[in-house]
Amino acid sequence: MTPVPPHLGILGGGQLAQMLALAALPLGVRVTVLEPDAQAPARLCADHLHAPYTDPAGLDALAACDAVTLEFENVPAEALSALEGRVPVRPGRALLERSKHRAREKEALQAAGARTAPFVAIETGADLDGALGQVGGRGILKTSELGYDGKGQARLSDEDGLRAAWQQMGRVPCVLEGLIDFEREVSLAVARGPGGRVAFGPLIENVHRDGILRTSVCLEGDPHEAQAREIAGRVAAAWDLEGLMTLEFFQLADGELLVNEVAPRVHNSGHLTQDGGGISQFEAQVRAVLGLPLADWRPLLPCAMVNIIGVKDQEADWTGIDALAGTHLHLYHKSWRAGRKLGHVNLVAPDAATLRERLARLERLIP
């Protein structure tokens, strides 16, 4: 008798859901996404329930899956409530509510023993008094919810600027974070199955431009990987993670890692795991969510990623990209918009020196 293939439901149908589905299909996993956008990228490789996230019939269909995961954290609470008790949702509601709210996230990180930048939660105008001094005199004001790729943020160095920025953000709940002098930004993903099995991805070095991730690089033998794994494992256990989450860190001059943010899902920086050999972050999330065998994942070769972002009157040199050895192009089937992530190019090389040389050439080909 032929076994029934596992059925994975995904809340969201963007490029992350598309890449999750592409990783699931070779494992014999059927994928269904609930997504209101008729042109959602995941529609090309998964069953697409074209309906709002709170649609009762759509949620009933997801509840019939073996497990449900998500590609973004800002899922309506009503959708999670409708699925609760009917199907495992991994990561679960408590973790999602924590990670989608910056103040709660930082409090929970500190409770788990992870260090963060100094911060003050801003709920009312009275919270602004002396807040900048509490975080060291310079800070970044961020909306507590929503906001990504540099949106919903303002850098500040005086009280008047802080008050003006809060007014401009609509006086919504915010977090004021102290500015940190750091050596570099790195990230690491951790997956945890329903039985408690934990596995890790590699430590990845990231460079941002205009608040948006530009490049990610993964090299063998990063001396700070063990520290990142220890912190990530501690947070995963404290938060009772089921599924996958990615931690973003600031690395200080003395080598200490501070957690900047947590994403309860696969992350842009981990896209390079698609083409470096071994399993990808997407397969790791599918395995963790469905309770399939899980092990550490990392590229077998040095690799990097460059994001393709919409830039006015400029386009990538597609011929040059194709001619550069080691490139793998991933496009998201999205319409062009300035500042929008339209795809990425993964780059693989036999050694670190060759990777750096090819990466410098690749960055010149992508505006």
Which residues belong to the annotated binding site for ATP? 102, 142, 147-153, 177-180, 185, 208, 260-261
Binding residues, as ranges, are: 102, 142, 147-153, 177-180, 185, 208, 260-261
d(CA 278, CA 150) in angstroms, rounded, equals 32
Count of positions (residues) in the chain = 367
- The single residue listed with the structure tokens 């949702």 is 89
- The single residue listed with the structure tokens 């809060």 is 166
d(CA 104, CA 102) in angstroms, rounded, equals 6
Question: How many other CB atoms sit within 10 Å of the CB of residue 64?
Answer: 12
Percent composition of the chain: helix, strand, coil (DSSP 3-state, to 5): 30, 30, 40
Q: Which two tokens stand for residue 332?
A: 């998201």
Sheet containing 30-35, strands listed edge to edge, beginning at the edge strand earlier in sequence: 47-50, 30-35, 7-11, 67-70
Report DSSP state, residue 311.
B
What's the Rg (C-alpha) of the chain? 20
Strands 7-11 and 67-70: parallel
Q: Which two tokens stand for residue 300?
A: 């077998």
d(CA 345, CA 362) in angstroms, rounded, equals 9
Given a contact cutoff of 8 angstroms between Cβ atoms, the answer to whether 162 and 132 are in contact is yes
Burial class from Cβ neighbours inside 10 Å (0-12, 13-18, 19+) for residue 325 reads exposed
- The single residue listed with the structure tokens 């990777």 is 355
Question: How many other CB atoms sit within 10 Å of the CB of residue 287?
Answer: 24
d(CA 83, CA 89) in angstroms, rounded, equals 8
Question: How many other CB atoms sit within 10 Å of the CB of residue 292?
Answer: 14
- Residue 142: name the closest of 116, 127, 121 by CA: 121
